[in-house]
Amino acid sequence: MTSDKIYGKRQSVAIIDDSRENILVLNEMLKDLCDVIVATSGKDGLELIYSQNPDVVLLDIMMDDMDGYEVCEILKADPRTQDIPIIFISALDADENERIGLTVGAIDYIHKPFSPPIVRARVQNHLKLKEQGDFLRNLSMTDGLTGLANRRQLEKYLDSEWRRCSRISVPFSVIMIDIDYFKPYNDTYGHLQGDECLKAVASVLSGSIQRPGDILARYGGEEFLAILPGIDIHGAIHLAEKMRLSVTHLGMPHASSKAADHVSISAGAAMETSCWENYPHDLVKVADEQLYRAKEAGRNRVVSSLTK
C-alpha cells in the first residue's frame, strides 16, 4: 500500500506546535510523503483536526493556551477522532512525561531536538498503519454488494449524529426507501439481475446526496435509509422526490411491477425537532410508517407526515 492511494487522496499530517521554526522543519521533511496542515495552538489544533480529519497528528506538549496532554485527551474521548494516531514531539524528555503521553492515548513519543530521518520514518510507519486500519474499518462498515454504509455503520452514525443534533438543537430527518415490487423483479429477471438492479438504484440514490454530513445506508434487502442531520422535513421531502425521479430516469424495465413499467421506489420521510427528548429509532419507525403509507397509496411516490 502507498500513503496516498486507498481512497484516491493523499494522506495528511497535522502539526500542532507553537514553534514556527519546528513547523517549518517538520513540513520540509514530510511534504513529499503527505499533505501537511498546521496550527500553532491547542485550540486552533482541535478546530483544524475536526475540520480536516488528518491521518496522523504531531503534537507539542508545552503550549500556552492548552497543553498537548489535554488536546490528546479531548481527541481520544471523541468517537470522530479517537482513531487518529497522535505522536508527541516534546522537549520534555523525562520518562514520566513520556509515560503520561502514552497513558493519555499517544501512539508514539519523540524527544526534541529530534532527528529528521527518525521522525520521517516513524511518521511514514504510522501513516501506513493508519491506512491499513482505515481499509479494514471501511470493509467492516460497508455493504459488500452496493458499496453503501451497512447496518453497523448506520447504527453508529445515527447514534452519534442524534446526540450532536440534541446538543445544538437542530432538526433531524430520515428517509426510508424501498424498491417497488422487488421480489417479483427477482422472480422475473433472476437474482443476478436483481443484484445489478440493487447496485444501480444504490448508485443513483447515493448520487442524489450532496451534503458531506448526510449518508445513505443499505437498511436490509431492498430497503435503504438516508440520514439527514440538520435537515427539516421540507428538505427531506425534496431530496426523497429527487431520489424517486433519479430511479425513474434509470429506465430499468420492470414487467412485473404494478406501480410502473420500470423500476421505481417508494419513500417515507420523517423529522424530529426534539432529539433530546426522544430516540433515533423512534424516528426511523415513523419514516417506516410513512413508507407503508406510500405503498398503500400505490407506490412510486413519497409520503411524509405532511402528506394529506
Catalytic (active-site) positions: 222
Buried b (16+ CB within 10 A) or exposed e, 147-180: ebbbeebbeebbeebbebbbeeeebbbbbbbbbb
Q: Sort 185 into a burial class: Cβ within 10 Å, 0-12 / 13-18 / 19+.
A: buried
From the CB of residue 274, how many other CB atoms can be counted at a distance below 10 Å?
10
Where do we find the cell 397509496? 297
- Given a contact cutoff of 8 angstroms between Cβ atoms, the answer to whether 9 and 34 are in contact is no
296 contacts: CB under 8 Å, gap ≥ 6: none
Residue 113: is the preceding peptide bond cis (ω within 30°)? yes
Look up residue 189 and give its amino acid: Y
